[in-house]
Amino acid sequence: MADIFTLGIDMGSTASKCVILKNGREVVGSSIIDSGAGTTGPQRAFEACLKDAGIEQGQLSNITATGYGRNSFEAADFVISELSAHTLGVHTMYPQARTLLDIGGQDAKVMSIGESGRLENFLMNDKCAAGTGRFLEVMARILEVGVADLKDLDAKAEGTISISSTCTVFAESEVISQLAKEADIPSLVRGINASVAAKAASLVKRLGVKEPVYMTGGVARNTGVVRALEKELGTEITVSEIQQINGAYGAAVYGYGKVR
Ligand code: ADP
Protein backbone atom coordinates (compact mmCIF):
# COMPACT_ATOMS: atom_id res chain seq x y z
CA MET A 1 0.00 0.00 0.00
CA ALA A 2 1.19 3.52 -0.77
CA ASP A 3 2.41 5.60 2.15
CA ILE A 4 -0.01 8.17 3.56
CA PHE A 5 1.35 11.64 4.25
CA THR A 6 -0.61 14.15 6.34
CA LEU A 7 0.51 17.67 7.16
CA GLY A 8 -0.29 19.67 10.30
CA ILE A 9 0.31 23.41 10.44
CA ASP A 10 0.23 25.38 13.70
CA MET A 11 -0.14 29.07 12.93
CA GLY A 12 0.86 30.52 16.28
CA SER A 13 0.94 34.13 17.39
CA THR A 14 4.72 34.19 17.36
CA ALA A 15 5.93 31.20 15.31
CA SER A 16 4.62 29.02 12.47
CA LYS A 17 5.20 25.30 12.82
CA CYS A 18 4.64 22.40 10.41
CA VAL A 19 4.88 18.62 10.66
CA ILE A 20 4.53 15.95 7.98
CA LEU A 21 3.57 12.51 9.26
CA LYS A 22 4.03 9.27 7.39
CA ASN A 23 1.31 6.70 8.06
CA GLY A 24 0.08 8.54 11.15
CA ARG A 25 3.16 7.97 13.30
CA GLU A 26 6.52 8.81 11.83
CA VAL A 27 7.57 12.48 11.60
CA VAL A 28 9.31 12.71 8.22
CA GLY A 29 9.46 16.50 8.02
CA SER A 30 9.14 19.51 10.31
CA SER A 31 9.79 23.23 10.31
CA ILE A 32 9.68 26.19 12.69
CA ILE A 33 9.66 29.77 11.36
CA ASP A 34 9.88 32.58 13.91
CA SER A 35 7.02 34.58 12.37
CA GLY A 36 3.44 33.89 13.29
CA ALA A 37 -0.06 34.23 11.87
CA GLY A 38 -0.68 37.23 9.62
CA THR A 39 2.83 37.16 8.15
CA THR A 40 4.52 35.07 5.46
CA GLY A 41 5.53 32.69 8.31
CA PRO A 42 2.85 30.02 7.73
CA GLN A 43 3.54 29.75 3.97
CA ARG A 44 7.30 29.63 4.58
CA ALA A 45 6.88 26.98 7.26
CA PHE A 46 4.68 24.96 4.86
CA GLU A 47 7.25 25.07 2.05
CA ALA A 48 10.19 24.37 4.38
CA CYS A 49 8.37 21.33 5.77
CA LEU A 50 7.69 19.83 2.31
CA LYS A 51 11.34 20.38 1.48
CA ASP A 52 12.45 18.76 4.73
CA ALA A 53 10.30 15.70 4.01
CA GLY A 54 11.40 15.64 0.35
CA ILE A 55 7.85 15.41 -0.97
CA GLU A 56 5.53 17.51 -3.17
CA GLN A 57 2.29 19.10 -1.99
CA GLY A 58 0.37 16.75 -4.34
CA GLN A 59 1.57 13.74 -2.32
CA LEU A 60 -0.22 14.96 0.83
CA SER A 61 -3.48 13.19 1.66
CA ASN A 62 -4.69 16.23 3.59
CA ILE A 63 -3.71 19.35 5.53
CA THR A 64 -4.99 20.29 9.01
CA ALA A 65 -4.52 23.77 10.42
CA THR A 66 -4.51 24.78 14.07
CA GLY A 67 -3.30 27.71 16.18
CA TYR A 68 -4.25 31.33 16.57
CA GLY A 69 -4.39 31.98 12.79
CA ARG A 70 -5.82 28.58 11.83
CA ASN A 71 -8.80 29.93 9.86
CA SER A 72 -6.67 31.78 7.37
CA PHE A 73 -4.71 28.94 5.75
CA GLU A 74 -6.49 28.45 2.46
CA ALA A 75 -4.97 25.09 1.56
CA ALA A 76 -6.28 23.50 4.78
CA ASP A 77 -8.79 20.64 4.49
CA PHE A 78 -9.54 20.63 8.23
CA VAL A 79 -9.26 23.15 11.04
CA ILE A 80 -9.03 22.11 14.70
CA SER A 81 -8.63 24.08 17.92
CA GLU A 82 -5.26 24.41 19.62
CA LEU A 83 -6.58 22.55 22.66
CA SER A 84 -7.59 19.58 20.48
CA ALA A 85 -4.30 19.59 18.58
CA HIS A 86 -2.15 19.75 21.71
CA THR A 87 -4.15 17.10 23.54
CA LEU A 88 -4.09 14.73 20.58
CA GLY A 89 -0.40 15.35 19.97
CA VAL A 90 0.72 14.67 23.52
CA HIS A 91 -1.63 11.71 23.99
CA THR A 92 -0.38 10.03 20.80
CA MET A 93 3.27 10.37 21.78
CA TYR A 94 2.87 10.07 25.57
CA PRO A 95 -0.38 8.18 26.38
CA GLN A 96 0.53 8.30 30.09
CA ALA A 97 0.40 12.14 30.24
CA ARG A 98 -2.34 13.45 32.56
CA THR A 99 -1.46 17.16 32.64
CA LEU A 100 -0.10 19.21 29.77
CA LEU A 101 1.22 22.73 30.13
CA ASP A 102 1.78 24.56 26.85
CA ILE A 103 3.42 27.97 27.01
CA GLY A 104 3.57 29.81 23.71
CA GLY A 105 4.36 33.30 22.56
CA GLN A 106 1.13 34.89 23.66
CA ASP A 107 -0.70 32.49 25.95
CA ALA A 108 -0.33 29.63 28.42
CA LYS A 109 -2.71 26.69 28.52
CA VAL A 110 -3.01 23.84 30.95
CA MET A 111 -4.94 20.73 30.03
CA SER A 112 -6.12 17.82 32.08
CA ILE A 113 -6.13 14.63 29.98
CA GLY A 114 -8.04 11.42 30.68
CA GLU A 115 -6.77 7.88 30.11
CA SER A 116 -8.48 7.66 26.73
CA GLY A 117 -6.91 10.95 25.63
CA ARG A 118 -10.04 12.99 26.27
CA LEU A 119 -9.58 16.63 27.27
CA GLU A 120 -11.22 16.68 30.69
CA ASN A 121 -10.62 20.24 31.73
CA PHE A 122 -8.45 23.22 30.84
CA LEU A 123 -7.47 26.73 31.86
CA MET A 124 -5.91 29.40 29.73
CA ASN A 125 -4.15 32.72 30.28
CA ASP A 126 -4.45 34.76 27.12
CA LYS A 127 -5.10 38.09 28.78
CA CYS A 128 -1.71 38.94 30.20
CA ALA A 129 1.81 38.75 28.73
CA ALA A 130 3.33 37.77 32.09
CA GLY A 131 3.69 33.99 32.22
CA THR A 132 4.03 33.70 28.43
CA GLY A 133 6.82 33.75 25.85
CA ARG A 134 6.13 37.43 25.21
CA PHE A 135 7.43 38.32 28.68
CA LEU A 136 10.68 36.48 27.88
CA GLU A 137 10.97 38.19 24.50
CA VAL A 138 10.57 41.63 26.09
CA MET A 139 13.22 40.84 28.71
CA ALA A 140 15.63 39.26 26.22
CA ARG A 141 15.44 42.42 24.11
CA ILE A 142 16.41 44.64 27.05
CA LEU A 143 19.24 42.28 27.94
CA GLU A 144 20.35 42.31 24.28
CA VAL A 145 20.31 38.51 24.03
CA GLY A 146 18.12 36.05 22.13
CA VAL A 147 15.29 34.08 23.82
CA ALA A 148 17.31 30.96 23.00
CA ASP A 149 20.15 32.25 25.24
CA LEU A 150 18.02 32.52 28.38
CA LYS A 151 18.44 28.87 29.35
CA ASP A 152 22.25 28.97 29.22
CA LEU A 153 22.42 32.24 31.16
CA ASP A 154 20.10 30.75 33.80
CA ALA A 155 22.35 27.68 34.07
CA LYS A 156 25.29 29.96 34.94
CA ALA A 157 23.44 31.78 37.74
CA GLU A 158 24.77 31.56 41.27
CA GLY A 159 21.82 33.42 42.76
CA THR A 160 18.40 34.74 41.84
CA ILE A 161 17.42 38.37 41.46
CA SER A 162 13.66 38.14 41.98
CA ILE A 163 11.35 40.26 39.89
CA SER A 164 8.62 41.63 42.14
CA SER A 165 6.29 43.17 39.53
CA THR A 166 3.86 40.75 37.94
CA CYS A 167 2.97 43.19 35.17
CA THR A 168 5.25 42.95 32.11
CA VAL A 169 5.54 46.72 31.70
CA PHE A 170 6.53 47.28 35.35
CA ALA A 171 8.80 44.24 35.32
CA GLU A 172 10.53 45.73 32.29
CA SER A 173 11.31 48.92 34.27
CA GLU A 174 12.50 46.78 37.16
CA VAL A 175 14.93 44.88 34.91
CA ILE A 176 16.17 48.13 33.36
CA SER A 177 16.91 49.56 36.82
CA GLN A 178 18.72 46.34 37.78
CA LEU A 179 20.85 46.69 34.64
CA ALA A 180 21.63 50.29 35.58
CA LYS A 181 22.90 48.95 38.93
CA GLU A 182 25.11 46.50 36.99
CA ALA A 183 23.29 43.48 38.39
CA ASP A 184 24.63 40.01 37.65
CA ILE A 185 22.95 39.06 34.34
CA PRO A 186 22.65 35.27 34.92
CA SER A 187 21.01 35.87 38.33
CA LEU A 188 18.66 38.36 36.72
CA VAL A 189 17.77 35.86 33.98
CA ARG A 190 17.05 33.24 36.62
CA GLY A 191 14.67 35.70 38.28
CA ILE A 192 13.00 36.42 34.91
CA ASN A 193 12.53 32.70 34.18
CA ALA A 194 11.23 32.15 37.72
CA SER A 195 8.68 34.93 37.23
CA VAL A 196 7.23 33.19 34.14
CA ALA A 197 7.24 29.87 36.00
CA ALA A 198 5.42 31.31 39.04
CA LYS A 199 2.65 32.74 36.89
CA ALA A 200 2.25 29.51 34.85
CA ALA A 201 2.41 27.39 38.02
CA SER A 202 -0.54 29.24 39.53
CA LEU A 203 -2.58 28.34 36.43
CA VAL A 204 -1.60 24.65 36.80
CA LYS A 205 -2.41 24.68 40.52
CA ARG A 206 -5.83 26.20 39.85
CA LEU A 207 -6.64 23.33 37.49
CA GLY A 208 -5.07 20.73 39.79
CA VAL A 209 -1.80 18.87 39.25
CA LYS A 210 -2.42 15.37 37.93
CA GLU A 211 0.82 13.46 37.39
CA PRO A 212 2.65 12.84 35.17
CA VAL A 213 3.01 16.41 33.95
CA TYR A 214 4.25 17.17 30.43
CA MET A 215 5.22 20.44 28.83
CA THR A 216 5.13 21.73 25.23
CA GLY A 217 5.35 25.07 23.41
CA GLY A 218 8.32 27.27 22.59
CA VAL A 219 8.92 28.17 26.23
CA ALA A 220 9.46 24.46 27.05
CA ARG A 221 12.79 24.92 25.22
CA ASN A 222 13.90 27.17 28.08
CA THR A 223 15.10 24.67 30.68
CA GLY A 224 15.42 27.49 33.24
CA VAL A 225 11.63 27.97 33.17
CA VAL A 226 11.05 24.20 33.30
CA ARG A 227 13.29 23.71 36.38
CA ALA A 228 11.63 26.67 38.15
CA LEU A 229 8.20 25.19 37.37
CA GLU A 230 9.22 21.84 38.83
CA LYS A 231 10.18 23.62 42.04
CA GLU A 232 6.93 25.60 42.16
CA LEU A 233 4.78 22.52 41.53
CA GLY A 234 6.87 20.04 43.51
CA THR A 235 6.71 17.52 40.68
CA GLU A 236 8.83 16.33 37.80
CA ILE A 237 7.98 17.77 34.39
CA THR A 238 8.78 15.92 31.18
CA VAL A 239 9.37 18.16 28.20
CA SER A 240 7.90 16.60 25.08
CA GLU A 241 10.57 15.52 22.64
CA ILE A 242 8.81 17.66 20.02
CA GLN A 243 8.11 20.67 22.36
CA GLN A 244 7.29 23.52 20.02
CA ILE A 245 5.82 21.40 17.19
CA ASN A 246 3.42 19.34 19.32
CA GLY A 247 0.38 21.29 18.06
CA ALA A 248 1.37 20.78 14.41
CA TYR A 249 2.01 17.10 15.15
CA GLY A 250 -1.44 16.74 16.76
CA ALA A 251 -3.01 18.37 13.69
CA ALA A 252 -1.22 15.91 11.37
CA VAL A 253 -2.39 12.99 13.57
CA TYR A 254 -5.96 14.32 13.27
CA GLY A 255 -5.61 14.42 9.47
CA TYR A 256 -4.45 10.80 9.44
CA GLY A 257 -7.58 9.83 11.38
CA LYS A 258 -9.63 11.36 8.55
CA VAL A 259 -7.94 9.22 5.87
CA ARG A 260 -8.89 5.82 7.19
P1 ADP B 1 2.93 30.41 19.47
O2 ADP B 1 2.31 29.07 19.13
O3 ADP B 1 2.05 31.29 20.31
O4 ADP B 1 3.46 31.12 18.26
P5 ADP B 1 5.28 28.97 20.43
O6 ADP B 1 4.80 27.76 21.14
O7 ADP B 1 5.83 28.77 19.07
O8 ADP B 1 4.16 30.11 20.43
O9 ADP B 1 6.37 29.66 21.36
C10 ADP B 1 6.96 30.92 21.09
C11 ADP B 1 7.79 31.31 22.28
O12 ADP B 1 8.78 30.33 22.52
C13 ADP B 1 8.56 32.61 22.12
O14 ADP B 1 7.83 33.69 22.63
C15 ADP B 1 9.83 32.39 22.94
O16 ADP B 1 9.67 32.90 24.26
C17 ADP B 1 9.97 30.89 23.04
N18 ADP B 1 11.10 30.33 22.27
C19 ADP B 1 11.16 30.19 20.93
N20 ADP B 1 12.32 29.62 20.55
C21 ADP B 1 13.01 29.38 21.69
C22 ADP B 1 14.29 28.80 21.98
N23 ADP B 1 15.10 28.37 21.01
N24 ADP B 1 14.65 28.71 23.26
C25 ADP B 1 13.84 29.16 24.26
N26 ADP B 1 12.63 29.71 24.05
C27 ADP B 1 12.23 29.83 22.79
User: Domain 5-88+245-259 has what CATH class?
Assistant: alpha beta
| Ligand 1, pocket residues at CB < 6 Å | 12-15, 36, 67, 104-106, 133-134, 136-137, 147-148, 217-219, 221-222, 244
Work out the pLDDT band at 148, boundaries 50, 70, 90: very high
Ligand 1 centroid distance, CA of 214 (Å): 16
5-88+245-259 and 96-239: same fold?
yes
Mutate to test the pocket of ligand 1, among 35, 90, 100, 222 (most ligand atoms within 8 A of CB): 222
Q: Which of 4, 59, 51, 57 is nearest to 29 (CA)?
A: 51
Angle at 137 between CA 43 and CA 181, to 5 degrees: 160
For the chain, the domains span 5-88+245-259, 96-239
At 177-215, the pLDDT tens digits run: 999 999 999 999 999 999 999 999 999 999 999 999 999
Contacts of 185 (CB under 8 A, 6+ apart): 143, 153
pTM: 0.96
Name the fold adopted by 96-239. Nucleotidyltransferase; domain 5 (3.30.420)
